[in-house]
Amino acid sequence: MSMIDQVYHYMTEHHMIHSGSRILVAVSGGADSMCLLEVLRELQKRLPFEIRALHVHHGLRESAERDLNYVSDFCSKAEIPLKLVRVDAAKYASRNGLSLEEGARSLRYAALEQAATEWDREAAQSNCSTEWDLEPAHSPQTEPCRIAVAHHVEDQAETVLFNLVRGSRLTGVRGMLPVNGRIIRPLLGSRRPQIERFLTEHGIDWCEDETNEDTTYTRNLLRREVIPLLEKINPKACEHLAGTAEEAAETEEFLSEKTQRALRRCRKQTSDSPHGPKDTCHTVLDIPSLLGEPPLLQRRVVYAVIAEAMGTRKDLQSVHVQDVLKVARKAGNGEISLPGGVRAAKVYDELHVIATAAQQASQAMDPPASSAPPQACPPAQARPRRWPESEEEYRWRVLVFDGDMGAVPRIRCTKWFDYDKIGTFPIFRTRREGDRMTLDEEGRSKSIARMMIDEKVPPQERKRIVLPTAGREVLWFPGGRISAAYMVEPTTERVLEITWDSEEQ
């Protein structure tokens, strides 16, 4: 099978492309992105769709100017619309306490999202001839464009190994998803040697990033030293790791649903109503029900509840889950302290997981509520709150709804919306002037600017937070409420599920 056939099959299998699609390609000038761009250009002979390219100059290497010029010349000759973006990744990383890699990645995806949103608006304007008051990027006739990035099998293997070494759960073993919101990875089923062979056969040069040789970076160490050793044991080691990631993704999706069902069976009470006193986040599990679940679901339910109380998965390890289960199984009452100022207490047949608002103030994802502050809660270590800064931190899907309101998730990182009311796919972007959120059934609303102030979001953070939106309506402020305009009702037929992966893989 040719490279073009292979990629086309992979893209159609994962529903990445169809007639009329618009694809924005992230092009660095390296072999992977040049291959992706050329393959998509060849596929235009089979299927009518549009492509554009975007190149980000991070200001980190002297050779970056060479890369920019190469991509610019290639796209000009190929008549591919190209947007060039210059950023200062070093300054951004230093200002925000990030590594150079993290800072560059954050700026790169922000530039891609901005360009994609602008293209959506442009496409919608061409479709809207009379309804000028409709937010262009969300015209029902316009499907949001996709952002194509050039990760391949070896990249997937590196990601899986990296996550395994650092002690990730199943969500880390699944690696990178083929489709995640508007992000697509058409080369995720292709090997690096195939990519270089394809470029050589088509007479296409590429740029080499000299920093890829620096093994002080963990991923470079994995790529240059660890993976070659694994391939000495088995030449298909990368393919097997990528296959494991795909199976882990399917398993995680299946188990997530099972976990939610188990959580509903075990949960007796949760005090997270935004209408009650805002003193604590307090979840109560029925211990006999919890211990009646299979051991895997016991651990996942406890993990979900602790993460909900902490407002993040950061610093939450399997040992904490095991310690809570030991308390639940022991005779008599007991109590244990957990990261982030959370505590778990056994009171007869109930397991209470509690975090006070004072302890959550620096890291909570939702405003805590109800109950008096527990007296035995140890002081929390101050830790900066965080919000999503790229679309990649979100996952979303559309589900059929059977009217069971008890099935609506109550966990902090997953929210459901009435998809038919929204009428289009969500757009993940930073705030804009005029953005609002509907607060109640009477239609009262609040500006997102005001909401960020009320949520005590630092001014320097506000422009970086990526929010799910439909027109000028913000669907959800991660760490706060959701829009009342699109809440699920018993008559809802389809739901839009949005999950924030608050610990980025």
CATH of the domain at 337: 3.30.465.60
Instruction: Identify which has the larger pLDDT, 47 or 279.
Output: 47
The residue range of the domain holding 416 is: 391-500
Do residue 283 and residue 186 come from a single domain? no
pLDDT at 1 over 90: no
The 3 state secondary structure assigned to 288-343 is: HHHHCCCHHHHHHHHHHHHHHHHCCCCCCCHHHHHHHHHHHHCCCCEEEEEHHHEE
pLDDT bin (cut points 50, 70, 90) of residue 14 is: very high
Do residue 302 and residue 192 come from a single domain? no
Q: Kindly report the CA angle at 17 between 388 and 471, in degrees rounded to 5?
A: 45
* Domain final residue pick, 187, 216, 251: 251
- Of 110-119, 216-225, 421-430, highest mean pLDDT: 110-119
Do residue 121 and residue 15 come from a single domain? yes
Do residue 438 and residue 338 come from a single domain? no
* Domain final residue pick, 315, 345, 360: 360
Asked if the structure places residue 218 within a domain, the reply is: yes
Asked if the structure places residue 132 within a domain, the reply is: yes
Do residue 334 and residue 414 come from a single domain? no
**pLDDT one-digit tens code per residue, 107-123:** 898 899 889 989 988 88
Do residue 224 and residue 285 come from a single domain? no
Do residue 423 and residue 352 come from a single domain? no
pLDDT bin (cut points 50, 70, 90) of residue 30 is: very high
> Averaged over 477-500, what is the pLDDT?
86
pLDDT bin (cut points 50, 70, 90) of residue 385 is: low
Q: Residue 200: CA atoms inside 13 Å, Cβ hemisphere, count?
A: 6
Strands lying side by side in the sheet with 414-418? 394-400, 494-500, 414-418
Question: Which CATH number is 180's domain given?
Answer: 3.40.50.620
Do residue 341 and residue 305 come from a single domain? yes
Residue type, 206: W
The CA-atom distances, in angstroms, between 248 and each of 164, 290, 435 are 12, 25, 37
Asked if the structure places residue 385 within a domain, the reply is: no
Structure confidence at residue 236 (pLDDT): 94
Q: Kindly report the CA angle at 225 between 223 and 226, in degrees rounded to 5?
A: 75
**pLDDT one-digit tens code per residue, 161-210:** 988 887 777 888 888 999 988 899 999 999 999 999 999 999 999 999 88
Asked if the structure places residue 378 within a domain, the reply is: no
Do residue 410 and residue 464 come from a single domain? yes
Helix and strand tally (H, E) in the chain?
A: 18, 19
Mean pLDDT (the chain) is 83
Asked if the structure places residue 228 within a domain, the reply is: yes
Structure confidence at residue 142 (pLDDT): 56
pTM (global) more than 0.75? no
Do residue 48 and residue 153 come from a single domain? yes
Do residue 285 and residue 316 come from a single domain? yes
Asked if the structure places residue 46 within a domain, the reply is: yes
Count: domains in the chain: 3
Asked if the structure places residue 195 within a domain, the reply is: yes
Asked if the structure places residue 39 within a domain, the reply is: yes
The CA-atom distances, in angstroms, between 234 and each of 70, 142, 224, 231, 271 are 37, 47, 16, 5, 52
Do residue 216 and residue 280 come from a single domain? no
